């Protein structure tokens, strides 16, 4: 609450950049369990994420039961099949060869929602941009991802799902909008390059590095 703010030295900044560079979307997990206190601590730190109007609209569902995991998996398989069919013929085989989800093995799995009707924040900052609520959830997930990686854990964000079906399967309140399905566990492999680059799907480009100045 004071002005005695910390100062971050060059060594820390260097490690932070290493963390950012090595953070990957992980789909290949060991089945080794994750100690509950490790997850609890990550969830505590995640609460410190920014949110529009201090609304903290993230809502967590931990998917543990084999039945619920099977429903999520069926949702993924259906969506993934449609996505493969939506690819042009020349890319359909390449698409089918990608590993896009760790739901078969990840020991910890969360569905994360955004409560679109939370009163917290009193609407501040979202009159013209209601999507700021979801963006706040995404900022929290990004923090979670980095702190998990710093603890040696991998995170995979699965988006090949029908959002309304996830919400129905998990029986969440109608105001909860599905944002992400996160697979969490110890990674089986570590790589500096993204999996989609390594398997020839999509290289990085400099399109997002250019800055238009007005």
3-state secondary structure of 183: strand
152 touching its own copies, by CB under 8 A = yes
38 binds its own copies (CB under 8 A): no
Q: Which of residues 53-72 bind its own copies (CB under 8 A)?
A: 53-65, 68
CA-atom Rg of the chain in angstroms: 19
Q: H/E element holding 101?
A: none
Residue 141 contacts its own copies per CB under 8 A: yes
Give yes or no for residue 29 binding its own copies (CB under 8 A): no
Q: Mapped to the 3 state alphabet, what secondary structure does 45-57 carry?
A: HHCCCCCHHHCCC
Site for its own copies in 161-180 (CB under 8 A): 161-163, 170-172, 179-180
The 10 Å Cβ neighbour count of residue 120 is 13
Site for its own copies in 101-130 (CB under 8 A): 110, 115, 118, 120-129
Which of 28, 38, 43, 116 is in the footprint of its own copies by CB under 8 A? 43
For its own copies, the binding residues in 74-103 under the rule CB under 8 A are 79, 82-83, 86-87, 91, 95, 98, 100
Question: What is the token pair recorded at 11?
Answer: 């060594």
Cβ burial, residue 203 (10 Å; 0-12/13-18/19+): exposed
Based on the shown chain and the rule CB under 8 A, indicate whether residue 20 belongs to the binding site for its own copies: yes
């Amino acid at each position: 609450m004071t002005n005695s703010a910390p100062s971050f030295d060059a060594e820390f900044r260097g490690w932070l950049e290493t963390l950012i560079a090595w953070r990957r979307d992980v789909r290949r997990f060991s089945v080794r369990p994750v100690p509950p206190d490790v997850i609890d601590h990550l969830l505590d730190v995640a609460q410190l994420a920014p949110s529009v109007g201090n609304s903290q609209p993230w809502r967590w569902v931990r998917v543990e039961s084999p039945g619920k995991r099977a429903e999520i998996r069926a949702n993924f398989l259906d969506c993934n099949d449609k996505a493969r069919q939506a690819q042009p013929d020349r890319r359909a085989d390449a698409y089918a060869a990608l590993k896009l989800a760790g739901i078969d093995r990840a020991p910890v799995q969360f569905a994360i929602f955004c409560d679109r009707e939370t009163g917290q924040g009193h609407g501040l900052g979202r009159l013209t941009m209601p999507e700021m609520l979801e963006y706040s959830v995404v900022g929290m997930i990004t923090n979670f991802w980095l702190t998990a990686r710093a603890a040696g854990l991998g995170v995979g964000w699965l988006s090949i799902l029908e959002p309304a079906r996830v919400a129905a399967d998990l029986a969440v309140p109608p105001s909860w909008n599905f944002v992400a399905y996160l697979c969490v566990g110890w990674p089986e492999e570590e790589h500096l390059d993204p999996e989609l680059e390594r398997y020839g799907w999509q290289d990085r480009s400099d399109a997002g590095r250019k800055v238009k100045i007005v």
